Structure 1
């Protein structure tokens, strides 16, 4: 399904294909040769989402932008089933595997691999050709890649990146789930005005 959101209509190149069960919403541009498979969700909450040539988005992947964080994916990239990619910049020839997550402000250089269930935290930079192993966590700039059982080391690198402020606009000391959910409720409430365009062919 294609939806207008905040006055923006998705643009899909005639050489792309979007499954009828996928959802494309708002300020989204899908380039030639792209394939967006069943159940995938590409939702522009404010900033633009741009997919370059021959980007493959497999089943049930979620790609999002926010007001403050656009999403750009270069040419010849693959986003695996159930992956979550939000508000980041992905260069050409990148592989994001099944169940992987890439967060706000991350930068993935050309030829990177984010393997099954791996995580690239916010504001993290992967240099070209870098690999995040299955289930591991990439965090920071300079980059550290850590196994998931090293929580203290991950937190030591993650805390200065300040997720609550960078993503939700609240200092960590004042952030609460009530404040965050009220802010998201107001922002996401804008979807009440979305208008279906048509199902993709």
Structure 2
């Protein structure tokens, strides 16, 4: 059973048939969710004043809010991205295989490049770029260090684990 899907200005969300949308997730307006992606419990994706695009095999974990920036930019999330619990993703770009930790905030016009990592609790202020292979942490976030092989393995493992868990939930709760 998909979550609450609401139109805005006559535009309805588009959800891939094999995506998992938790029953209490809310997805609004000009929002597209790609194949094999999962939107977990209590998430809100509000594509009202601009568009949200979520790629394939993305996991947006419990309590996360994804919104857009009026007249500036939508929010674009690539493939195989993991977004931790209670994150705030606003008017930014998360490229393929980016990782955003729990309770992190990524603000307007930021880019988290492919294989970039935003630590739990970090605040990435407007216009910043988290480059490939960098770990950013703090409030405001700054580059802390280069990623290790263990970091890359954790990132890939999280994406695989959530893809598998989402399919289990799809089969058990519809």
Whether TM-score is above 0.5 comes out as: yes
Match of 1:15 in 2: 18
3-state SS, counterpart of residue 5 of structure 1: coil
- State the distance in 1 between where 2:106 and 2:99 align: 12
Structure 1 vs Structure 2 CA RMSD: 1.6
1:77 matched to 2:73? The reply is: no
Q: What stretches of structure 1 move > 4 A for 4+ residues in a row? A: none
- State the distance in 2 between where 1:45 and 1:87 align: 12
Match of 1:111 in 2: 115
Match of 1:101 in 2: 105
- State the distance in 2 between where 1:111 and 1:15 align: 25
Give the number of the structure whose residues are more often strand, by fraction.
Answer: 2
Query: Mind listing any 5+ residue stretches in structure 2 that lack a counterpart?
Result: 145-173
Is the Cα contact below 8 Å between 1:137 and 1:145 reproduced in 2? no
Match of 2:46 among 14, 34, 43: 43
3-state SS, counterpart of residue 45 of structure 1: strand
- State the distance in 1 between where 2:36 and 2:143 align: 33
Query: Mind listing any 5+ residue stretches in structure 1 that lack a counterpart?
Result: 139-143, 147-200
Alignment of 1:21-170 (within 5 A): 21-68=24-71, 69-133=73-137, 135-138=138-141, 144-145=142-143
Query: 1:137 Cα deviation (Å)?
Result: 2.6
TM-score, scaled relative to structure 1: 0.67
Report Cα offsets for 1:32-68 as digits up to 9, x if no partner.
0000011001001221100000010110000001322
- State the distance in 2 between where 1:89 and 1:118 align: 16
Query: 1:136 Cα deviation (Å)?
Result: 4.4
Is the Cα contact below 8 Å between 2:62 and 2:84 reproduced in 1? yes
Is the Cα contact below 8 Å between 1:44 and 1:66 reproduced in 2? no
3-state SS, counterpart of residue 18 of structure 2: coil
Corresponding residue pairs, total? 142
